[in-house]
């Protein structure tokens, strides 16, 4: 069954919002490494929501930076966002795997300060995408 772009975008945005709530719980619980990972996932899913809402049918990849560049093809303002949030890509792998960090583990390396900043960046992406999806589709839908 083919879903409308607005509906598919909304599904991805809803999941991004759910992930963001989980990120707050992880931060509050002291799982800072996982809060950073979930921040990256929140931003990734929000950007995918926007791309699906634009009518893209297959949106693959995990890079926030690359997804922002792609979204900028529809709205050049995503280029400014990209410059602010591309660092979230640094939380995709090293927050989860000990072999990505020399002589330590993610649970020891990531701090409350780092998690708070990662979640702040995820919030920037969420708000940015929500505003654009609302403007373009009436109620978080797409074109």
Q: Within 10 Å of residue 12's Cβ, how many Cβ atoms?
A: 22
* pLDDT score of 42: 98
One of 1.20.120.330, 3.40.309.10, 1.10.101.10, 3.40.50.2000 is the CATH number of 5-137, namely 1.20.120.330
pLDDT, tens digit (0-9, with 9 covering 90-100), for 2-46: 788 999 999 999 999 999 999 999 999 999 999 999 999 999 999
* pLDDT score of 128: 98
Residue 143 confidence (pLDDT) above 70: no
Which has the minimum average pLDDT: 1-5, 75-79, 123-127, 129-133?
Answer: 1-5
pLDDT, tens digit (0-9, with 9 covering 90-100), for 66-100: 999 999 999 999 999 999 999 999 999 999 999 99
Domain ranges of the chain: 5-137
Residue 56 confidence (pLDDT) above 60: yes
pTM, two decimal places: 0.92
Handedness of CA 78, 129, 50, 125 (dihedral sign): positive
| Dist CA 122 CA 105 (whole Å) | 23
Q: Within 10 Å of residue 4's Cβ, how many Cβ atoms?
A: 14
């Amino acid at each position: 069954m083919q879903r409308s772009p607005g509906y598919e975008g909304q599904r991805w945005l809803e999941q991004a919002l759910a992930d963001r709530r989980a990120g707050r719980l992880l931060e509050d619980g002291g799982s800072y490494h996982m809060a950073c990972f979930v921040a990256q996932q929140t931003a990734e899913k929000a950007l995918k929501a926007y791309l699906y809402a634009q009518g893209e049918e297959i949106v693959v990849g995990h890079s926030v930076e690359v997804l922002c560049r792609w979204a900028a093809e529809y709205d050049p303002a995503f280029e400014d966002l990209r410059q602010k949030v591309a660092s979230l890509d640094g939380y995709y792998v090293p927050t989860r795997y000990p072999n990505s960090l020399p002589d330590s583990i993610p649970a020891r390396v990531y701090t409350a300060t780092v998690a708070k900043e990662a979640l702040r960046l995820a919030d920037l992406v969420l708000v940015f995408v929500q505003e654009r999806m609302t403007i373009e589709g009436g109620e978080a839908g797409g074109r």
